[in-house]
Amino acid sequence: MAVFAAAVSACTTSGEKGNPTPAPPSTGSSGNDSSNKLPERPQALRLDSVDTCKLLTADQMKQISVVSTDPVKLPLVNGQESPSCDYGSDGGFSYQVGAVTHKGVSYWLQGGGNVDATVIKVGDYGAVQVKLKGGSGFDCSAAIDVAEGQQLMVSYIPTTTKEKDQAVLCGKAEKAAGLALSTLKTLK
């Protein structure tokens, strides 16, 4: 299901030509806001030939209660399609894992689209939590800074109206992102 991908794509394709407007610094901070700076990555993990449907092992899929995989191409960043995998469940939600090789996570921190972006850590890598502006309970993504100009993007998407707590949605996206990152490390 490409619900989040379509929403992010629709919010990120307009106004993309030219120089992006940097996100304003947080209230009460100087122009040198360290919370908007990604930590140095421990090593580059290139995504160029990664099969996104193999980034969650059978055991990891059980940990997040997904039961199926479906390889897809999704317009995750800037309207450009990226190899992705839809991990489906029997419980009204799915995860999408995408290998974005044309834009790094700094895209989100430079005002990339109609999203709120917050620097977080997933495992030992810097990442950006991405949520649609003005929305709550729709979805949440974690975009991990795995290599220069590349990001591993993991989204949690409820397909029922039962889950609306944004912190829960983002926690689930971050957990799945951590699992996919640990598998990616073993593929290199």
Contact residues for 150 (Cβ-Cβ < 8 A; gap 6+): 46, 47, 99, 100, 101, 104
Distance between CA 139 and CA 111 in Å, rounded?
19
**pTM, entire model:** 0.80
pLDDT of residue 125: 97
Distance between CA 109 and CA 128 in Å, rounded?
8
Residue 83: phi and psi, rounded to 5, are -60, 130
pLDDT of residue 3: 39
pLDDT of residue 115: 85
pLDDT of residue 161: 62
pLDDT of residue 188: 60
pLDDT under 70 in the chain at which residues? 1-35, 112-113, 135-137, 161, 188
pLDDT of residue 159: 84
